[in-house]
Structure 1
C-alpha cells in the first residue's frame, strides 16, 4: 500500500536578507556564529568573543605584594614543618579562565578548596604530584634523592592527604597574614579533592587570578598554584587595585575640609511641633472658622524639635525681642542616639 504523503511536498522556507526583521539567511547565521560545517570552523562573531584567549583584566598591584610577602613567610613555615632547607619562589601571576585552568591541571594532583569568610566565597590551591610526594617523603623521613619520582597512578591515601593538608593550611595561614594589612580575612581549608570535577567553584568562563609557586626541597619539590576568581575578590577589588599600602588609609584633606565647611554652611529647616492630635477625615471636613483644636500641651512642656520628620531634641517656646524663640533643654546628639 502506498503512503498517502508520498506526493506531499513542503514549501521551501523563506530566505530573508540580513537586514530583514523576520529571520536570518544562512550567510547571516554563519557570520554571527561561525561556519560550523567547515573542517576547522573559523571563530567569528559571538563565538569568537566567547572563546577568545585574550582576556582583558584589571591589574591588582596589592595582590602581587601579598604573594611576595607570602613567599617569605611560607618558606619559613615549611622549614619549621619539614626541618629541611626549603626555597620558595613565585614563578608567575597570570589571568586565566576557570575552565582553562582546570583543564590544565596535571593528574594525579590534589586540589584544596578554601573559603574566605569575610568575602563569602571560595578559592583553590592545586598541588602537583611532584610536590605531593616530596612533602610526604620529607615528613615521613624518606631518603633525600634527586632521582625523579615514579608516579604509579594510584590514588592518594588518607595519610598522604592529611600531610598535604598541613602544608595547605600553612600556605593559607601565611597568605591570610600577608593580606591582613590590606583587608581583614579568614581563610579556611574546607576539603581536598583529587578530581577537578568536584572542585568547580566557578563557571568555566569566569576570569581568575592565578599565582604559581615553586617549592624546592634539596633536589625534590614541585609547584602549587593559588586561584582566586574575580568574583571572589570583588568585595576587596578596590583595595587590591591600590598602588601602595598607604593608599588605603590616606585621606584627601582638601576635600575633607571643603566638605566640612560646606556642611556647616548648609541651611536646614527646623520645625517645632506645638502638639499633635489624631482626627478623622470627617472631623476635619466639618471645621469652621473659630473652632478650637485641643493639643493637650501646657505652656511649660518641652516641645519636639524636628527636621524632616526626625526628632532632634526638645525645647521650650518663648519670646525674645518681639520674636518667637525656642530654648533647647536636651543635647541634640544625645537625643539622636536615643
Structure 2
C-alpha cells in the first residue's frame, strides 16, 4: 500500500502542471526561452523586408482564460489559426490593427513622419493579405524556436477577423498567453500568442527542463570541422526564366507537341534560386557552347514580399 501511495504522489506531482486550474508558467522555463527566440528571429526576418529597423519583444507571459484574452481585443484584431499536428491541437496568433497599420506603413515606404492612423475600421483586403503573410512569417519563426523541444509544423489554417469564428477551446479553459510588442518607425503594435492548456500536454516535460544543467563546453576542433564540412556541401541552384499561372482547364488542354508561349526575351533577367529561395537577378549569356548566367544584383527580399502580397 505504501508503494502505491508513493507512485500516486509522483504522478500527481507531474500532472499538476496542466491538470490543476490554470498553468504554472514558472515551471516551464523553456517556454520563455522559446518565445524570446521567436521574437529575435521575427525581428531579424522583418529587417530583411523593411528598411526601417523592426524589433519584436516579449512583453508578458501568463496563464489566462481563453475568453478573457480574446475579449480584450474585441473588434480590433485579426486572428491566425494554426494547426499543430504533433500536439493534435490548434493555437491562436492575433495582431491588433495598430500592428497591421504600422507594418503596412513601414513596408510600403513610410518613414513615420505622418500621424499614426487612429480610425477604427475594418481591415482592407490588402491589409488582410499582409496579415496572412505576417502570420506565415511568425509561424515559421515559432516553429523554428519550438524545434528544440518539439519537432512539429505550425500550419496556418485560416485567418479570421471575427472572434466568434476563432474558437479552438472552451472560453473558460486556461491557456498560455504571450504578449509580444512590435516597435518600428517609433510606433508600437501588439500581438499575442494563445496556446490552450491541453496543447502543451505532450511537451510539458521538455518545457520544464532546467537550462542550467544543459550548459556544454564548445569544442573548437569540432566547430572548425563542422564549418569546413558545411563549406564543402553541394547545393543545387536553378535559373527561372519566367513563371506563368494556369487554371486547371489549361492544364487539362495540354497535349504532346503543344507550345507554351513565353514573354521572356534574351534581354529578360533570370532569377537564380536555391531551395525555392530567390538569390540573384542574372543576365542570360552564352559561352563555349553553354548557356551562362551573369549575376547582376541581389534579389530584394522587401520587394519580393510586397510583390507577393500585391499579387494575391
Length-normalised TM-score, structure 2:
0.58
Paired with 2:152 and 2:212, the residues of 1 have a C-alpha distance of: 16
Deviation readout 1:142-186 (Å, 9 max, x if unpaired): 342362312242x22221111111111111111111111222010
Paired with 2:212 and 2:201, the residues of 1 have a C-alpha distance of: 18
Question: Could you tell me which residue of structure 2 aligns to residue 159 of structure 1?
Answer: 126
2:198 is aligned with 1:234? no
Paired with 1:106 and 1:210, the residues of 2 have a C-alpha distance of: 16
Deviation readout 1:188-239 (Å, 9 max, x if unpaired): 1111111110001000121100111111112223110011011111111111
SS at match of 1:81: coil
Paired with 1:246 and 1:80, the residues of 2 have a C-alpha distance of: 35
Paired with 1:174 and 1:235, the residues of 2 have a C-alpha distance of: 20
Indicate how the Cα distance of structure 1 residues 146 and 106 shifts in structure 2: closer, same or farther if over 3 A, else same.
farther
Indicate how the Cα distance of structure 1 residues 56 and 234 shifts in structure 2: closer, same or farther if over 3 A, else same.
closer
How many positions carry a matched residue from both structures? 193
Paired with 2:151 and 2:212, the residues of 1 have a C-alpha distance of: 14
2:189 is aligned with 1:222? yes
Deviation readout 1:116-151 (Å, 9 max, x if unpaired): 121121000111111111112222223423623122
2:157 is aligned with 1:198? no
Matching residue within 81, 85, 95 for 1:117 = 85
Paired with 1:97 and 1:62, the residues of 2 have a C-alpha distance of: 21
2:176 is aligned with 1:209? yes
2:73 is aligned with 1:102? no
Matching residue within 40, 50, 55 for 1:87 = 55
Paired with 1:112 and 1:241, the residues of 2 have a C-alpha distance of: 27
Determine if contact 2:22/2:175 at 8 Å carries over to the other structure: no
| Higher RCO, 1 vs 2 (CA within 8 Å, ≥6 residues apart) | 2
Paired with 2:113 and 2:83, the residues of 1 have a C-alpha distance of: 36
Paired with 1:193 and 1:102, the residues of 2 have a C-alpha distance of: 13
Matching residue within 142, 156, 163 for 1:175 = 142
Determine if contact 1:127/1:223 at 8 Å carries over to the other structure: yes
Paired with 1:245 and 1:66, the residues of 2 have a C-alpha distance of: 15
Paired with 2:188 and 2:50, the residues of 1 have a C-alpha distance of: 12
Whose radius of gyration is greater, 1 or 2? 1
Determine if contact 2:39/2:56 at 8 Å carries over to the other structure: yes
Question: Could you tell me which residue of structure 2 aligns to residue 148 of structure 1?
Answer: 116
Paired with 2:213 and 2:83, the residues of 1 have a C-alpha distance of: 27
Length-normalised TM-score, structure 1:
0.54
Paired with 2:23 and 2:180, the residues of 1 have a C-alpha distance of: 23
2:210 is aligned with 1:243? yes
Question: Could you tell me which residue of structure 2 aligns to residue 135 of structure 1?
Answer: 103
Q: What is the CA distance between 1:57 and its match in structure 2? A: 3.1
Determine if contact 1:111/1:127 at 8 Å carries over to the other structure: yes
Indicate how the Cα distance of structure 1 residues 56 and 141 shifts in structure 2: closer, same or farther if over 3 A, else same.
closer
Structure 2 unaligned residues grouped into runs of 5+ = 1-20, 215-312
